[in-house]
Amino acid sequence: MFKLLILLPLFVVFGACKEQAVSAPKAPPAVPVLVAAAIVERLAENLSLVGNLLADESIEIKSEIDGVIDKVLFEEGKNVARGEVLMELDKVKLSAALAEAEAGFRLSKSTYERNMGLMKESLISQHELNQAAAKFQSDQAGLDLLKRQLRDASIIAPFAGIVGSRTVSPGQVISKSSILTWLVALDPIKVEFKVPERFLDRLSIGQTIETLVASYGTNRFVGEVYFVAPAVDPVLRTVLVKARIPNKAGLLRPGMFANLNLTLKVDESALMIPESALIRLSDNSAGTVYVVGADETVQVRKVKLGSRIAGKIHVIEGLKAGEKVITEGSQKVGPGSKVKTRSV
């Protein structure tokens, strides 16, 4: 009876120690986080600029000769074709002068031909033949000049375009310096802008440019770069660039102010992640992200960065397509942490 009273407490103590040795510490619960997959998509690197619209061609229409306006054959603001007659000067005096010159030319030609025959028979001197030849050549030059002046009395459009307002009326005397009207070609239309010199190595002919003007809201007009200046402006440190934009409807007009997006580079297979997944480093070209593995364990990964656009960032190195990165909740986890993921 006395022995049983001693052994019973020992059995209770032994059993309690065994139970305490078998129990293991509980693992911390998985942290809920939001994740997004790294995806491959088309990335266009754009540069925002401003510029001015210019006519593709623009000239002042003037006469090549003095005269009197006889006819005005165009309507202001209308399209005209290349070679179309816009105005005609009075041709009466020119026609009379041409008839006189033709008569004189025929006489000098006849004299020259006759003297050539006489020279062969040694009936005239070489000096007489030379005089007849000089008169013939002079009359021919004068005749050609009058014919050209008669053609110039018809003022034609040198290219297709839109004529501006006219500044003269029939019967008005004009000189060669008088501006008669203007002619502009608007399809295509040009846009001229300046690009900071640090982007010079990324400029090239054929790059795409989108144009927006205040008159047409969010309508975008797409054109193509055709000129990059061969020199940098030493004062502004910029490069002059020009592009052509199709303008068949004539909506864009010279003098308009334009907001531009110049596409410097296009990557058809850029690896993109949400910018919220990035933990920035002091170097803007690199950063870190939390990557969630197949076993829902967190890894810290350093990545090399490219362009940033609309809440996304281009990853050049450090990730593969399809890998999941934490976009929300990264402050609660560390390397090796277990997480419970939910996709964005």
Instruction: Determine the pLDDT at residue 251.
Output: 92
How far apart (Å, rounded) are the C-alpha atoms in residues 55 and 162?
11
Question: Could you tell me the CATH number of the domain that includes residue 215?
Answer: 2.40.30.170
pLDDT bracket for residue 23 (50, 70, 90): low
Residue 293: both structure tokens together: 């593995």
The pairing of beta strand 339-343 with beta strand 31-37: parallel
Same domain, 137 and 225: no
Q: Which residues contact 126 (CB under 8 A, 6 or more apart)?
A: 119
Assess if residue 19 is contained within a domain: no
Same domain, 250 and 272: no
Q: Has residue 13 got a pLDDT over 70? A: no
- Do 137 and 148 share a domain, yes or no? yes
Which CATH number goes with the domain that contains 81?
2.40.50.100
Look at residue 166 and tell me if it is in a domain.
yes
In a domain, 82, yes or no: yes
Residues 200 and 285 in one domain: no
pLDDT tens sequence across 125-172: 888 888 889 998 999 999 999 999 999 999 999 999 999 999 999 999
Are residues 240 and 262 in contact, defined by beta-carbon separation less than 8 angstroms?
A: no
User: Has residue 327 been placed in a domain?
Assistant: yes
Query: Per-residue DSSP letters for 148-217?
Result: HHHHHTEEE-SSSEEE------TT-EE-TT-EEEEEEEEEEEEEEEEEEGGGGGG--TT-EEEEEEGGGT
Tell me what the mean pLDDT of segment 267-279 comes to.
Answer: 89
pLDDT confidence of residue 26: 67
Does a structural domain hold residue 8?
no
Q: What is the pLDDT of residue 25?
A: 63
| Total tally of structural domains belonging to the chain | 4
Give yes or no for residue 4 having a pLDDT over 70. no
| Residues 233 and 138 both lie in one domain | no
Q: Are 298 and 270 in contact (CB under 8 A)?
A: no
Residue 11 is assigned to a structural domain of this protein: no
73 lies in the same domain as 172? yes
Quote the pTM value: 0.66
Read off the DSSP letter of residue 41: E
Residue 100 has pLDDT above 60, yes or no: yes
Is 260 within the bounds of a domain? yes
Q: What is the mean pLDDT of residues 52-73?
A: 94
d(CA 83, CA 86): 9
Range of the domain at 142: 91-152
Whether 273 and 338 map to the same domain: the answer is: yes
Residue type at 8 in one-letter notation: L
Clarify whether residues 277 and 339 are in a common domain.
Answer: yes
Domain assignment present for 75: yes
Q: What is the rounded CA–CA span in Å between residue 326 and residue 90?
A: 84
Given a cut of 50, whether residue 329 has pLDDT beyond it is yes
